[in-house]
Structure 1
């Protein structure tokens, strides 16, 4: 049975929170963040790992228009990832494709080149996914990761995402067809380990 009163009191996707961790802070992304985020759009490796087809220099005017409108979206949450030690915007974390009838949504994260491998993505993932379950009342958060991006898959696994299946030949990249792995995390799993499944699995018997 759905608790309609409880659902009505929850913040919605139009509410744009600020979430603070030990290494990163997530806050609403704005058009002023575009200069810091542009390296994501210009980096060939980032385009490959995210399967972003495009020709030439990214359209900065179009990108600015996109980020100008993020604060008004009531069906997705776009947050800038800020590194606390430097104050620099180092990427974005997004809950999107909201399906209110099934209490689910998608997730994606992208960091600017040169910021990988320091735990920033893992913490940002835990912060925004935790917000989705604990504040937005989601039941399922899902994503797709390409087979040639094992580093990203490991980040998602560390935050509690579980592989569900494979979309065969989902991406055609420079003549190569690449599988995509579908992953998800469910609310009962999140509330069991809070985004740290390895610690939960190795806890007291």
Structure 2
């Protein structure tokens, strides 16, 4: 049985290079700015971007939810916003949930930040929430992310053919998942 109360606890998870804190109104400016980055939007498959008001409303509405967990990824030393992640589509009956992560700028990729954040959140998802399975979708062209997910214990389970049309080209998305006991601890 999963503990949905662990979704409302607003955890702070601290690693060597990242600190995960509840996404809130104080992150609105950085969250909005990240959505303007063309490469970040391509990796997410987001054709448009939120208005500032939509970003503000999103960040303000994250607290106290029992159906998902939204965390900001910060640099532990100076609190610089590095991105955000979510455990969402939680199914208590099946002990499963979806996962997504977005670093806020390409300059943060290739430094192990996404891997560390993913390991921290998987540990929380399995050990504190009590999930059995965490799944995600990643576009097949995002080889760096696929490698990170594999290193965290995710396995490809399927392919959604031609699921993204970006600048006239179609791209597949991969369904990946990791089971409790199959993830790599930080």
Superposition TM-score tier, normalisation by shorter sequence = over 0.9
1:20 aligns with 2:14: yes
* Residues 45-64 of structure 1: pairs in structure 2 closer than 5 A: 45-54=39-48, 58-64=50-56
1:132 aligns with 2:125: yes
Q: Distance in 2 between matches of 1:80 and 1:154?
A: 22
Q: Distance in 2 between matches of 1:122 and 1:185?
A: 14
User: 1:189: which partner in 2?
Assistant: 182
In the superposition, relative to structure 1, how do residues 37 and 47 fare at CA in structure 2: closer, same or farther (>3 Å)?
same
Q: Give a deviation string over 1:11-62, Cα, whole Å, max 9, x none.
A: 43222111111111111111111112223200111111111121xx630001
Q: Distance in 1 between matches of 2:130 and 2:50?
A: 36
Q: Which has the higher helix share?
A: 1
Q: Distance in 1 between matches of 2:142 and 2:73?
A: 21
Larger Rg: 1
CA contact (8 A) 2:115 2:148 kept: yes
TM-score scaled to structure 1, two decimals? 0.85
* Residues 2-81 of structure 1: pairs in structure 2 closer than 5 A: 7=2, 11-54=5-48, 58-81=50-73
Structure 1: give runs of 5+ residues left out of the alignment: 196-205
CA contact (8 A) 2:14 2:76 kept: no
CA contact (8 A) 1:11 1:135 kept: no
User: 2:152: which partner in 1?
Assistant: 159
CA contact (8 A) 1:103 1:138 kept: yes
Shift of 1:88: 0.7
Q: Distance in 2 between matches of 1:86 and 1:151?
A: 26
Q: What is the root-mean-square deviation of aligned Cα atoms in Å?
A: 1.6
Shift of 1:158: 1.4
1:103 aligns with 2:103: no
Q: Where has structure 1 moved over 3 Å in runs of 4 or more?
A: none
Structure 2: give runs of 5+ residues left out of the alignment: none
